[in-house]
């Protein structure tokens, strides 16, 4: 049985997912030889798939140490600390960008803070150096199609063309209206959440191709919660401007849950850990709300621990 980890998009809500992952890494679990010990995520799962903030986390968890390429450079706890300390820099808007009129023409934030935070956990590591198979989606604006960045396959296999984890991470995290599009080799990319904020169907489909005869154990860290309840007063362009990005990503996320569950066979296992917090905005850097996300993640890990252990027991 192959084990798959799926981490949804949700901006700063990735903190809740990291609390669950920190719990997994802190608990002694049996390895493939039956030895009980603490293990990193890259050693526990055969495939890690994430969108937006989940994609950044996925790449960060798979980075090898420079002097020991078989050992992960980052623990979930380390990445969590980067999120907590860098949130105010990632979501830092100048007075000019905070005004409504400029936001009609430019994103709410520059990508500088996000890039600096990403560099702290992925550095200049190439995507093919990932310790486990990692896949993250992004939308290719230039070619008008979805793009799956895979650690085992180059998106555009041109001679001499190489890709870094930071490019894949920034491409999947470039949320429209929040961050500018990310450019790689003259191609523009935006957040994979536009079509796969919950990438579980993509993860399952990819796993079926790689391991057609293997049953799957899928663990989804659900931090987005789908589309929040909302009301449209008049339905004009300005009424929809602030609601559209959230609605587009959230509604697709709800449908992805249905598809993911429908793609399972009797031999497979599918588990979803809910870490919802509709009260916290995806670009919040408020210390109290960050602590709320930490608490929600810890509570989700504790509540779902028997289920999580069951997933991790498969494939031994």
Backbone angles phi, psi at 69, to 5 degrees: -65, -10
Which residues touch 102 (CB under 8 Å, ≥6 apart)? 96
* pLDDT by 10-residue block (mean), the chain, 316 residues: 94 96 91 79 96 97 90 97 97 68 76 97 96 97 95 68 90 93 95 91 96 95 71 73 66 78 91 85 93 95 93 73
SS3 (DSSP) at 132: coil
Cα 98 to chain centroid distance, Å, stands at 26
What angle (nearest 5°) sits at the alpha carbon of residue 207, between those of residues 174 and 23?
65
Tell me how far apart the alpha carbons of residues 147 and 152 are, in angstroms, rounded to a whole number: 14
Which residues touch 186 (CB under 8 Å, ≥6 apart)? 142
Q: Is the pTM of this model over 0.95?
A: no
28, 37 Cβ separation under 8 angstroms: yes
Q: Which of 218, 50, 197, 209 is nearest to 135 (CA)?
A: 50
Cβ–Cβ contacts within 10 Å for residue 180, how many?
16
Q: According to the model, what pLDDT value does residue 31 have?
A: 72
Q: According to the model, what pLDDT value does residue 258 have?
A: 83
Q: Which of 158, 140, 137 is nearest to 148 (CA)?
A: 137
Q: Can you name the residues that pair with 220 across neighbouring β-strands?
A: 6, 272
Segment holding 41, helix H or strand E: helix 41-44
Which residues touch 148 (CB under 8 Å, ≥6 apart)? 135, 136, 137, 155, 202, 206
Exposed, middle or buried, 18 (CB in 10 Å: 0-12/13-18/19+)?
A: buried
Q: According to the model, what pLDDT value does residue 98 have?
A: 60
Distances (CA, A) of 246 to 148, 153, 180: 22, 31, 17
Q: According to the model, what pLDDT value does residue 227 have?
A: 57
Backbone angles phi, psi at 260, to 5 degrees: -60, -45
64, 129 Cβ separation under 8 angstroms: yes
Tell me how far apart the alpha carbons of residues 10 and 199 are, in angstroms, rounded to a whole number: 12
Which tokens hold the place of 232? 């449209």
Backbone angles phi, psi at 36, to 5 degrees: -85, 120
Segment holding 292, helix H or strand E: helix 287-303
Torsion (CA) 74, 223, 29, 41 in degrees, nearest 10: -30
């Amino acid at each position: 049985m192959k084990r798959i980890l799926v981490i949804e998009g949700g901006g700063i809500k990735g903190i809740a997912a990291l609390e669950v992952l920190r719990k997994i890494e802190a608990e002694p679990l049996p390895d493939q030889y039956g030895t009980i010990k603490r293990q990193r995520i890259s050693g526990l799962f055969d495939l890690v798939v994430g969108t937006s903030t989940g994609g950044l986390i996925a790449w960060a968890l798979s980075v090898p140490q420079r002097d020991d390429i078989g050992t992960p450079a980052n623990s979930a706890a380390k990445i969590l600390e980067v999120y907590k300390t860098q949130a105010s820099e990632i979501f830092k808007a100048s007075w000019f960008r905070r005004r409504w009129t400029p936001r009609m023409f430019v994103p709410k934030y520059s990508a500088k803070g996000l890039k600096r935070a990403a560099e702290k956990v992925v550095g200049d590591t190439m995507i093919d150096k990932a310790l486990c198979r990692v896949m993250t989606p992004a939308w290719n604006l230039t070619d008008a199609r979805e793009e799956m960045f895979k650690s085992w396959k180059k998106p555009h296999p041109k001679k001499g063309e190489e890709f870094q984890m930071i490019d894949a991470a920034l491409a999947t995290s470039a949320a429209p209206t929040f961050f500018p599009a990310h450019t790689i080799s003259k191609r523009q990319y935006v957040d994979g959440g536009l079509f796969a904020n919950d990438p579980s169907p993509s993860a399952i489909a990819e796993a079926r191709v790689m391991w057609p005869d293997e049953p799957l154990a899928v663990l989804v860290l659900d931090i987005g919660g789908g589309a929040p309840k909302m009301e449209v007063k008049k339905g004009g362009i300005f009424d929809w401007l602030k609601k559209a990005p959230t609605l587009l990503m959230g509604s697709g996320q709800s449908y992805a849950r249905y598809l993911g569950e429908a793609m399972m066979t009797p031999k497979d296992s599918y588990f979803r850990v809910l870490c919802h917090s509709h009260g916290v905005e995806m670009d919040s850097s408020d210390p109290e709300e960050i602590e709320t996300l930490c608490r929600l993640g810890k509570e989700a890990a504790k509540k779902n621990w028997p289920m999580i252990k069951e997933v991790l027991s498969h494939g031994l």
